[in-house]
Amino acid sequence: MSRRELAADQPANFAFNADYLARANRIIAKYPTGRQASAVIPLLDLAQRQEGWVSRPAIDVIAGMLDMASIRVLEVATFYTMFNLAPVGKNHIQVCTSLSCWLRGSDDIVRACKERLGIGFGSTTPDGMFSLAEAECAGACVNAPVVAIGDDYYEDVDGAGMWRILDAFKRGEKPAHGSVTRRDGSAPAGPPTSLTDDPTKPVPKQDLAAAKAAYEQAKAEAAAKAAQPKT
């Protein structure tokens, strides 16, 4: 894992707004007295959703709310890569470059991002709309290559597809997430090669009758066999 440190430039203070403070208190209330530290990850997530990243003042505030030492909250924030330790763009793009995605062409996706946005990993566009980061396994290898933008996964992406996704975001649109090839979940690409009958269609009544008759016959034969004297 690469070294993760807090940004050099930090805000003077942090406070949850009324909505996020209410959410934080509801989360803390789920844990028994003395176990509030278990809420550290969801509270860090709330701070990031409010500010876009996790700052040192936010860590200190969360530590106070959970009666934890700040260093313990810092340990959690720096361990989990889902927490941004510096400001990121409005659309934070994480390209998975681990083995499965790399074998399936993640280099083309990285190239498309760099060419279309004019930035590299760890950078943000001058207008603050996009930032780019490298992810070490997005956990969706079966649909590789995978790109996370905010909370959404875009799967089965190639270089041209990434270009189209970025153009849509630049127009203020939010493309449908999931497989960009529109395959069904993690089903194999292409048409079915086995079990080709449509499972959503009801079984014809005559087939049901035939199946029931075959079942009754098999049951009768099994009973007759069981009743035969053993030799």
Pairing of strands 91-96, 178-179: unpaired
Task: Kindly report, residue by residue over 92-102, the tens digit of the pLDDT.
Answer: 999 999 999 99
| CA separation for the pair 134, 112 (Å, rounded) | 14
Using the predicted structure, report yes or no on whether residue 203 has a pLDDT greater than 70.
Answer: no
In this prediction the pTM is: 0.72
Using the predicted structure, report yes or no on whether residue 199 has a pLDDT greater than 90.
Answer: no
- Decide which of 3.40.50.11720, 1.10.10.1590, 1.20.1260.10, 2.60.120.10 is the CATH code for 18-79: 1.10.10.1590
Tell me the sheet residues that pair with 152.
149
Per-residue pLDDT band for 8 (boundaries 50, 70, 90) equals confident
User: According to the model, what pLDDT value does residue 1 have?
Assistant: 46
Query: For the chain, which residues make up each domain, given as ranges?
Result: 18-79, 91-179
Report the CATH fold assignment for 91-179. Answer: Glutaredoxin (3.40.30)
